[in-house]
Chains A and B, each alone.
Chain A
Amino acid sequence: MTDIRYLAPRTLDEAVGAFAAAAGAARILAGGTDLLVQMRAGVLRPGLIVDIKKIPEMTSIEETADGGFRIGAAVSGAALADHPKFGQVWPGVLEAVNLIGSTQVQGRASPGGNLCNGSPAGDSVPAMIAAGAIVTVQGPNGRRRMPVEAVPAGPGRTTLAPGEILVSFELPPRPAGSGDAYLRMIPRTEMDIAVVGCGVSLTLQDGVCTAARVGLGAVAPTVLLVEDAAKALIGSKLDDAALEAAAAACRAVCRPINDKRGTIVYRTKVAGVLLKRAAGIAAERAGRA
């Protein structure tokens, strides 16, 4: 690993400048739990590593004035878990982030790295999509904002333009009666890659679902926002027919791979099962909120 340069700028402008100037030869370093594995495996050999963790905006968690949250892209899962309030408001997002790897991996792994690594099986991504998170990115041409589901472009690819850095996730304020949940299916109980992952966020008023979003992972080249599943839930009392319609909508968008971890038929079936279970947990949490 010689001939690599390492920079740890203290401002975002410096980071963007260095990242853009190095063109395709540079890589952003957040927790390194994907990047350093790929470098050691010889898959990647960047000329410049830009460590973004010395930039305060990248590692801070803030409650916004309207009751939402702003999470720096490089915040570690362990830091998010230690936040006194975040897990109460967004238990599903927190459980998804905390499913990434072991305790040691949690010490470093970030939701920004999980999203930018571009894996269709990234655990935090379906939960962030369900939460309606908006990301801010900054590049040589300034800042822009977009919904989190607009970032993945395919396995290992994102829609970020050359030189653009993911800065933060913004989660909206929660109306009363809201809850979210994330479930993944893996063959073991820990330390494995999702065969299917499903995030659900919903709001209940007098037992009726007034808002819902569903994110589905590991069943297509990118993590998906499943709007038809949300439509099936909204307006219902989450009765069996509504849940089955939402599960069918999830199965309908599946275009999974066939591999040793799960066949196409199995992944498709499990997508519907996880939707129902995650919706049930989200509803129970909404009842308490």
Chain B
Amino acid sequence: MAKLHVSTTINGEPVEFLTEPGESMLDVLRGPLGLTGSKEGCGSGDCGACTITLDDRLVCSCLMLAAEAEGHEIRTIESMAEGETLHPLQQKFLEMAALQCGICTPGVLMAAKSLLERNPDPTETEVRFWLAGNLCRCTGYDKIVRAVLETAADMREAAR
């Protein structure tokens, strides 16, 4: 079967790749494109480890065909730090030990960043509901939720 040629934008850069029609975006990111920050936890939309944004909306890259990227804009965890400078969420996760094995972390960070862009002052309940699609087997969630809330407070302070 002929491969499809896809032109898209990933992390602000124009990217072209070839894909099998049934291949997931996650497989293309992690395989030919070498962007291995997005993880595969389940492959069925349940865990959120593969979270990316498609035109600024959070999606599970395991439940998206790579062919669907044509003409759209994708961001992955690789775009979160600017060079050596970590995003405030990344920095706070390190400081507060909001990760252990780290498999869920890229997805959690992508989701948390998108939340804070929409709502700079979320309640704890809002954070928990927003992150309900990001499963973590290590931290028990509390450290994650607290790190997100503290980052939000820091970012509000910095914006004043």
Contact = CB atoms under 8 A, between A and B. Distances in A.
Contacts of A51: 65, 67-68
A189 B115 CA distance: 19
Interface in A19-45: 29, 31-33, 36-37, 39-41
A102 B133 contact: yes
Interface stretch (B21-29, B86-94, B95-103, B139-147): B21-29
A245 interface: no
The winner among A51, A108, A191 for most chain B CB atoms within 10 A is: A108
Given A39-B22, A108-B64, A3 B44 contact: no
Given A40-B44, A108-B63, A1 B22 contact: yes
Contact of A191 (B46, B54, B60): B46
A104 interface: yes
Contacts of B17: none
A6 B21 contact: yes
Given A4-B21, A101-B133, A105-B133, A49 B65 contact: yes
Identify the interface centre among A29, A36, A103: most chain B CB within 10 Å of its CB: A103
A141 interface: no
Chain A interface mostly helix, strand, loop or mixed?
Answer: loop
A205 to B, nearest CB: 36
A6 B18 CA distance: 13
Given A104-B59, A190-B132, A29 B45 contact: no
Given A33-B63, A107-B58, A108-B59, A2 B22 contact: yes
Contact of B65 (A2, A29, A78, A102): A29
A76 B22 CA distance: 21
B130 A103 contact: yes
Contact of B1 (A2, A8, A78): A2
Contacts of B43: 40
A37 B68 CA distance: 16
A53 interface: yes
Interface residues of A, number: 33
Interface in B34-72: 43-46, 48, 51, 54, 57-60, 62-65, 67-68, 70
Nearest to B125: A189
B148 interface: no
B20 interface: yes
B15 to A, nearest CB: 18
B30 to A, nearest CB: 15
A2 B20 contact: yes
A45 B15 CA distance: 29
Given A2-B1, A3-B1, A36-B65, A105 B21 contact: no
A106 B59 CA distance: 8
Given A6-B65, A102-B133, A107 B59 contact: yes
B23 A1 contact: yes
Interface of A: 1-6, 8, 29, 31-33, 36-37, 39-41, 49, 51, 53, 76, 78-79, 101-108, 189-191
Q: Which 9 A-B pairs have the closest CB atoms?
A: A102-B133, A1-B22, A6-B21, A190-B132, A107-B57, A107-B59, A4-B22, A4-B21, A6-B67
